[in-house]
Chains A and B, each alone.
Chain A
């Protein structure tokens, strides 16, 4: 299987500055700190983690909506990081994004039809009547009606708006769509609709997806492979079944044990993590999870574990698993 997207050692560090006239750097937030993965054509990679762990930043760095500090992003054989502005705009025909907040990601002064038509016109896919026809088709594909094109975004509910956002992403017939928590702002019943829609569309248009979420059960349903992130690093990555049945990293285990089981009699060992995610401003030395890890050994404090493949397709970054 060929990889459509290769991400290697991706880093995004945000400097923290102090002072107005004489700015000096007082710290560095390592939002993404050496993330690497491949995404194969037609597959869905789930990216999960607590809020603030850098999963959205990773998504935006791949599209270069945020300029990465370091690392490589290779999309379809092209090094995305070295593209100039014009080439970057052109490559966005092939990689699109669906945003988290359907209430903030649609321009309130534009009609829905114009929002969806904009990328079609920009990339010269169609013009005039043909473009309008295409917008109607797209609305139809995402489960809205053609007459909705004449309305403004504020006239729709959250789920419908997210459908509009998906239609906009689909308009350029992209190869890759980065979905940045597309359902976290929606009601649970609507979440299911949108996830099913994404699955249908993936099949229909042969899409490759990166699905970012903080909810493992959501990711479980749609992903072929899942990467678990903690404080800017991937701690575990595996096929979805393997990850759910055989989690190795203590953090993954804790996350999985937090998913409620709809069975009152089911007995299950809950792993409670102590404390909050520590500030990425001053990450501890060694494994950055050791402050909360119930199994931490002295080595964890000194040496950062590498992401190593244990089984085929199952990688873990933990000293306990890879001694």
Chain B
């Protein structure tokens, strides 16, 4: 048994064979797929319009949302001058809606941002370290999830005091377990990969592994969850404001506007209809975009 070498080891060229693939970023790919799907494109457009309205509110709104009130003409029906009519204080409903978009953006970003930071941290720690820490954190999250979300938010705002800022904190807390769960499960799957083991072999500390190697590979589900959450956060904040626990009058918050108009539903339905439609479309837009992103970022659809 002398010649056991079946390999002919002479194929070593100076340069390896190149069959490099064209590089396209994750986001360029995702955007392309979103645009290709009509439904998610509709979501993208709604969200874009919403953001632009919020950004350029002073340019779009024809009147001041708070100061320009004329009590004599209160509840006036839509006309050429006031395309969405006037509310119970005689203010322009359209201008209030436009400025309300700013408040909604603030609510979406701050409450989801709060949930994101807290949830990602807890989820990453639970998933990475495992064992009793995982058990402790995730059981706490389960307790939070066991409450109906609006009820929990009401309880938290009731404790903190009825104010928009507190409503955002409450929504942030309510949404934290959703992020923690998603991040934990993604971290679990990423943690088992060979490149995490390679990072350990190279000498990375745990913190560095989490920040540089684990979390960047969990980004897709986090983005999807954030997008979907912004929509529902706006809805929940509107519900809290409607109940008088969030934004306080005269702030032009959409939920508060609904609450303001509810007494005049028979006499002047436009005061309630337009804020209601605005909430519906924005939430719909974020949901469509979130679903589209989920599909677009799904690695199984790559190729």
Question: Which residues of A line the B interface, CB within 8 A?
Answer: 60, 63, 65, 89-90, 92-93, 96-97, 99-101, 104-110, 118-119, 122-123, 143-145, 151-152, 154-157, 159-160, 163, 165, 168, 172, 188-193, 195-197, 216-218, 220-221, 244-245, 247, 256-257, 259-263, 268
Give residues of chain B (202-223) contacting chain A, Cβ–Cβ below 8 Å.
Answer: 202-205, 208, 212-213, 216-217, 219
A104 engages B16 (CB within 8 Å): no
The listed residue (B12, B194, B212, B213) touching A197 by CB distance below 8 A is: B12
Q: What would be 5 A-B contacts, judged by CB atoms less than 8 Å apart?
A: A60-B197, A65-B200, A107-B216, A168-B202, A256-B4
Pairwise interchain contact A154-B10, C-beta atoms closer than 8 A:
no
| B203→A93 contact, CB < 8 A | yes
Instruction: Return the contact of B205 from the options A89, A110, A217 (Cβ within 8 A).
Output: A89
Chain B binding surface SS class: loop
Whether B194 lies near A99 (C-beta < 8 A) is yes
Cβ–Cβ < 8 Å partners of B208 in chain A = 122
Closest Cβ of chain A: how far from B180's Cβ, in Å? 20
Once A107-B217, A217-B7, A259-B4 are accepted as A-B contacts, the answer to whether A151 and B199 lie under 8 Å apart by CB is no
Q: Which residues from 126 to 151 on chain B have a C-beta closer than 8 Å to any C-beta of chain A?
A: none
Docked pose: A145 CA to B194 CA in angstroms: 25
Contacts of A118 in B (CB 8 A): 199, 202, 204, 212
Task: Report the minimal beta-carbon distance from A225 to chain B, rounded to whole angstroms.
Answer: 16
Complex: A217 Cα to B8 Cα, angstroms: 10
Known: A65-B197, A99-B197. A143 touches B5 (CB 8 A): no
Given contacts A107-B217, A221-B9, A259-B4, contact A119 B203 (CB under 8 A): yes
List the 8 shortest-distance A-B pairs measured between CB atoms, nearest first: A109-B216, A104-B194, A105-B194, A196-B12, A92-B203, A89-B203, A119-B202, A192-B9
* Chain A residues in 8 Å Cβ range of B204: 89, 118, 122
A247 CA to B2 CA, complexed, in Å: 12
Question: Bound state CA distance, A136 and B222, in angstroms?
Answer: 35
Shortest C-beta distance, B181 to chain A (Å), equals 18
- Write the chain A residue with the least CB distance to B299: A108
Q: Chain B residues with Cβ under 8 A from A99's Cβ? A: 194, 197-198
Residue of A nearest to B26 (CB): A109
Q: Which of A89, A144, A172 contacts B16 (CB 8 A)?
A: A144
- Checking B12, B19, B193, B201 against A157 with a beta-carbon cut-off of 8 angstroms, the contacting residue is B19
Q: Which A residues lie within 8 Å of B79 (CB)?
A: none
Question: With A and B bound together, what is the CA distance between A192 and B23 in angstroms?
Answer: 28
B294 to chain A minimum Cβ distance, whole angstroms, is: 19
Number of interface residues of B (CB under 8 A): 41
Q: Which of B195, B202, B208 has the most CB of A within 10 A?
A: B202
Q: Which residues of B contact A216 (CB under 8 A)?
A: 4
CA distance A257 to B1 in the complex (A): 9
Q: Out of B16, B21, B217, name the residue touching A159 (CB < 8 Å).
A: B16
A84 CA to B202 CA, complexed, in Å:
16
For the complex with contacts A107-B195, A259-B4, 17 further pairs of A-B residues with Cβ separation under 8 Å are A63-B201, A65-B201, A89-B205, A97-B198, A97-B201, A104-B194, A107-B217, A118-B212, A143-B15, A159-B17, A160-B18, A195-B9, A196-B12, A221-B9, A244-B2, A257-B1, A262-B6
Residues on A with C-beta less than 8 A from B199 are 107, 118
Which residues of B have CB within 8 Å of A97? Answer: 198, 201
Q: Does B3 make an interface contact (CB < 8 A)?
A: yes
**A114 — nearest CB in chain B belongs to which residue?**
B212
- A300–B126 alpha-carbon span in the complex (Å): 48
A123 to B213, CA, bound (A): 18
Q: Which of B1, B201, B212, B216 contacts A244 (CB 8 A)?
A: B1
Q: How far is the CB of B192 from chain A (nearest CB, A)?
A: 10
In the complex, the answer to whether B16 meets A157 with C-beta atoms within 8 Å is yes
| Inter-subunit contact A156/B4 (CB<8 Å) | no
Q: Which residues of B contact A159 (CB under 8 A)?
A: 16-17
The answer to whether A192 and B12 touch across the interface, beta carbons within 8 angstroms, is: yes
Report the minimal beta-carbon distance from B128 to chain A, rounded to whole angstroms. 15
Contact partner, A155, options B9, B20, B212, Cβ 8 Å? B20
Chain A residues with CB under 8 A of B17: 157, 159, 190
A90 touches B7 (CB 8 A): no
Given A96, A123, A218, A245, which contacts B1 in the complex, CB threshold below 8 Å?
Answer: A245
- The answer for the CA separation of A101 and B19 in the assembled complex, in Å, is 18
- A256 engages B194 (CB within 8 Å): no
When distances are taken between beta carbons in the complex, the residues of chain A under 8 Å from B197 are: 60, 65, 99, 105
CA distance A86 to B168 in the complex (A): 42
**A145 vs B19: C-alpha distance when bound (angstroms):** 14
In contact, B23 and A151 (Cβ under 8 angstroms): yes
- B217: chain A residues at CB < 8 Å are 107-109
Do residues B202 and A92 form an inter-chain contact, with CB atoms below 8 A? yes
Task: Tell me if B11 is interfacial: C-beta within 8 Å of chain A.
Answer: yes
B194 & A100 in contact (Cβ 8 Å cutoff): yes
Q: B16 to A221, Cβ gap below 8 A?
A: no
Q: Which of B14, B22, B202 contacts A143 (CB 8 A)?
A: B14
Quick one: given A109-B216, A256-B1, A259-B4, are A152 and B203 in contact (CB under 8 Å)?
A: no
Chain A residues with CB under 8 Å of B205's CB are 89
When C-beta atoms are compared, the residue in chain B nearest to A195 turns out to be B9
Are B198 and A90 neighbours in the complex by a CB distance under 8 Å?
A: no
Q: Complex formed: what's the CA distance from A323 to B216 in Å? A: 59
Residue in chain B with minimal CB distance to A260: B6
Task: For the complex formed, measure the closest distance between the CB of B187 and the CB atoms of chain A, giving whole angstroms.
Answer: 14
Set of chain A residues within 8 Å of B2, measured between Cβ atoms = 244-245
